Amino acid sequence: MAQAPTLSDGTVTIRPHRPGDVRGVLEQSQDPLSQQWTTIPVPYSLADAEAFVSRTNPQGWEQDTEWGFAVEADGRFSGTISLRSEGHGRAALAYGAHPWVRGTGLVERAVRLLLDWGFDQQALETVVWRADAGNWASRRLAWRLGFSFDGKVRRWLPHRGELRDAWVGTLLSDEAREPRSAWLDCPVLELDGLRLRPIGHHDADRIAEACADERTQQWLGHLPTPYTLADAHAYVETRSEQRANGSGVTWAVVDPTDDLILATVGFFGLQPGVECEVGYWTHPEARGRGLMTRATGRVVGYAFETLGVERVTAFAAVGNAASRHVIEANGMRLYGVERLGIETGAGRADMALYDVLAAEFAPRRCATADHSSTAMPATDSAAPTREVDR
């Protein structure tokens, strides 16, 4: 009877499933993340795990339809990976990790063994990766393995009675198994009394409050009206998409004592080594404290020092005095006005255009780094500057 070969890179092994894997399969399949992103039965029983190990997986090999492997590391069951044949030199990649192994890089090593085997021994030309839209862990692993990201297919993947949007990508047999584009980091940045950290779905309530605020709606004309909690969750997803496609990074500005989001600030429209644009908004409770001037200066400095850009731009409606104050306090110079260049809540308005070069910002950085959180004038109430969804 056909079965999986045993392959190892010296750290991780992929091999046939064994009766001893049943407990590990059960633990993996009862894990909430496994149930969220895969189509395994819910609830998942010991009988389901026994059937998978003794019948379902062997049948795939017997029928030459799915080549499944158990993953083992440090002598422990670590997950299941497979290639599902789609004929004509094509197969679909599937993988699931036991909770203990997540974040270790071991599943990536296992999938690399699987891909090598599939391309070399099964003469595959193309392997396709599909995942429910929003499964960022799966997408990041596919990115590391060299898969393209070919977009989203709407209502494509069946999932317990519904059709979910699917992300899709491909890897060809003659392509390098390494990232083909940048995936930007969002490191935690510390300021005196403030912390800049990645945005998460746990911030959605505060995001909805800020973006439903009358003043935010006034200056960010692209925002949905009314702005709902669903819109806030969608916003979080767009920030993740920015990082994944290498176009920008947005930070939550929080109080380190309670981690409550006070504002967001970030860069977008990144042209590596050339330029990017900064944008921000502030929760109504945090206005008038000077925090946006400080946070924006930190992000501009990050763009110059870490990203190596030569120019940072910022744009705001001509009438948005508070936002223009933040921009000017960070050494940016007005270089023009674009007539009717920005969408506000009241319609199109003239847009003030600012920029600063790396050589100009360096001396300014020291001057802005020590602003008191209470000493800024009333005009520094941090009305939003342009922040776009890209």
- The answer to whether 206 and 182 are in contact (CB under 8 A) is no
- The answer to whether 339 and 350 are in contact (CB under 8 A) is yes
Q: Which domain holds residue 68?
A: 7-172
Residue 379: its pLDDT value, please?
39
- Do 123 and 11 fall within a single domain? yes
Name the strands in the sheet holding 311-317, side by side, starting at the edge strand that comes first in the sequence: 189-191, 194-198, 249-254, 261-271, 275-282, 311-317, 347-357, 333-344
Residue 367 has pLDDT above 50, yes or no: no
C-alpha 205/C-alpha 371 separation (Å) is: 29
C-alpha 111/C-alpha 147 separation (Å) is: 12
Domain finish residue from 172, 205, 235: 172
Residue 193: phi, psi to the nearest 5? 85, 0
Domain count, the chain: 2
Q: C-alpha angle with apex 290: 226 to 241, nearest 5 degrees?
A: 50
Position 362 confidence tier, pLDDT thresholds 50, 70, 90: low
- Do 63 and 142 fall within a single domain? yes
Residue 216: its pLDDT value, please?
95
241: CATH: 3.40.630.30
Write the pLDDT tens digit of every residue in 224-277: 999 999 999 999 999 999 999 999 999 999 999 999 999 999 999 999 999 999
Write the pLDDT tens digit of every residue in 328-357: 999 999 999 999 999 999 999 999 999 999
88 belongs to a structural domain: yes
Surface-to-core class of residue 74, CB atoms within 10 Å of its CB (0-12 exposed, 13-18 middle, 19+ buried): exposed
Average pLDDT, the chain: 93
Beta-carbon count within 10 A of 362 CB: 13
- Do 114 and 215 fall within a single domain? no
Q: C-alpha angle with apex 100: 99 to 104, nearest 5 degrees?
A: 105
Write the pLDDT tens digit of every residue in 288-305: 999 999 999 999 999 999
| Segment among 119-123, 169-173, 365-369, 385-389 with least mean pLDDT | 365-369
194 belongs to a structural domain: yes
- Do 215 and 147 fall within a single domain? no
The average pLDDT across 191-216 equals 96
**pTM across the whole model:** 0.89
Per-residue DSSP letters for 116-143? HHHHHHS--SEEEEEEETT-HHHHHHHH
Position 17 confidence tier, pLDDT thresholds 50, 70, 90: very high
- Do 205 and 328 fall within a single domain? yes
- Do 166 and 204 fall within a single domain? no
Position 368 confidence tier, pLDDT thresholds 50, 70, 90: very low
103 belongs to a structural domain: yes
C-alpha 38/C-alpha 131 separation (Å) is: 9
118 belongs to a structural domain: yes
Residue 388: its pLDDT value, please?
60
335 belongs to a structural domain: yes
Position 384 confidence tier, pLDDT thresholds 50, 70, 90: confident
60 belongs to a structural domain: yes
